[in-house]
Amino acid sequence: MTPNVPYEYTNRDLFEKSETYEYTELEGSAFLDAYLADRADAIEALDERLTGTEQRSMNGWEGLLGALSWADPDPVQDNLPVLADLPRLSDSDGIPNVDADRVATVPLLAGLLGVPNGVPPDGEVSAVWLNRLVERFEVHKRLYAAYGTEMRPVDDEPAARIAYPMLALAALVGHDRNGSLKLLNGALKICDALSSTDANAMDAGVAALSRIALDEERSAVRALAAEKEMPL
């Protein structure tokens, strides 16, 4: 069914021209339908992009994390553990100290997603870094390859595109664990940017991780709507 209002937040490449989200209109349940249709279309396009690419064996978060260059996301998706069932790891290897004077974005995100331990850590230091990265995206709608003191970009080098679905996933894990609306809000904006991008222009790793991020984001929105007893 075609929604009777457009989902206007992915109708251009947001990596080219970002969205401010100021004074957005209220359009009722039709808007929520339009959002779901947008994500369904994006996931379908990503699936088409990934058709025929090499499949790799991936299990759980460890597999997901080793998969920054994987192909078909379905094995990962099918084998993702339920977050609530995961053991709680405190901050661990791969997470820099909060006052580190330089961090590289993609390795930091890998640490937040659980490399090398296979489980995303949920200690206070991890929460600080996740919040900082989400805030950087919220303010600039861009991520940089590395950040220095006070989270200033070390230089103008942009982060690799894989950083965006990684941050969306890390934010969704955080939202799942503590219900943070701030993290869900950031993930929604990142997923708009992913959905706005031509799937055929993505490399396989970015496409696969984007597909998982979009699916997880849609699940998180549905879960929140159900928790608030709203039809979706």
Partner 1 sequence: MLPGVAMLTAPSSRSRIYLDLLERRGLLPELVLLLEDPSVETAEQRRRAAESVPSGTVLPEDPELNARRTVRQRVEDLGIDHRTLDTLNPNDRVVVEAVAEIDQEFLIYSGPGGIILEGDLLKAGPRFLHVHAGELPDYRGSTTIYYSLLAEGACGATAFLMNENIDEGPIVARESYPPPKNPETIDLYYDPWICARLLCKVLSLYRDEGDLPETPQRPNEGETYYILHPIVKHLAVSHIS
Asked if 84 touches partner 1 (CB under 8 A), the answer is: no
Least CB distance from residue 214 to partner 1, whole Å?
A: 13
- By CB under 8 A, which span of 78-86, 193-201, 207-215, 218-226 interacts with partner 1? 218-226
Q: Does the footprint of partner 1 cover residue 4 (CB under 8 A)?
A: no
Those residues with Cβ within 8 angstroms of residue 227's Cβ, 6 or more apart along the chain or in another chain: none
By the rule CB under 8 A, 224 interacts with partner 1: yes
Distances (CA, A) of 7 to 24, 36, 167: 12, 9, 23
Other CB atoms within 10 Å distance of the CB of residue 148: 14
Query: Cβ of residue 134: shortest distance to partner 1, in angstroms?
Result: 8
Q: Which of residues 123-162 bind partner 1 (CB under 8 A)?
A: 135, 138-139
Torsion region of 179: left, alpha or beta (phi above 0 gives left; psi -120 to 50 gives alpha): left
Q: Nearest distance from residue 200's CB to partner 1, in Å?
A: 26
Q: Which stretch binds partner 1 (CB under 8 A): 25-33, 51-59, 78-86, 110-118?
A: 25-33
Query: In the numeric block, which tokens belong to residue 161?
Result: 């595109």
Q: What residue type is 129 in one-letter code?
A: W
Provide the minimum distance between the beta carbon of 105 and partner 1 in the complex, in angstroms, as a whole number: 19
Decide if residue 186 touches partner 1 (CB under 8 A): yes
d(CA 133, CA 147): 10
As a whole number of angstroms, the distance between CA 50 and CA 56 comes to 13
Q: Considering only CA atoms, which of 99, 161, 105, 156 is closest in space to residue 130? A: 105
Tell which positions 41-80 bind partner 1, by CB under 8 A: none
Say if residues 192 and 185 touch (Cβ distance below 8 Å). Answer: no
Q: Which of 1, 16, 20, 156 binds partner 1 (CB under 8 A)?
A: 20
Amino acid occupying residue 84: A
How many residues sit in the footprint of partner 1 (CB under 8 A)? 31
Among 21, 81, 88, 101, binds partner 1 (CB under 8 A): 21
What are 166's two structure tokens?
């990684």
Q: Are 162 and 209 in contact (CB under 8 A)?
A: yes
- Residues in contact with partner 1 by CB under 8 A are 9, 20-29, 31-32, 35, 135, 138-139, 180-182, 184-186, 188-189, 192, 221, 224-225, 228, 230
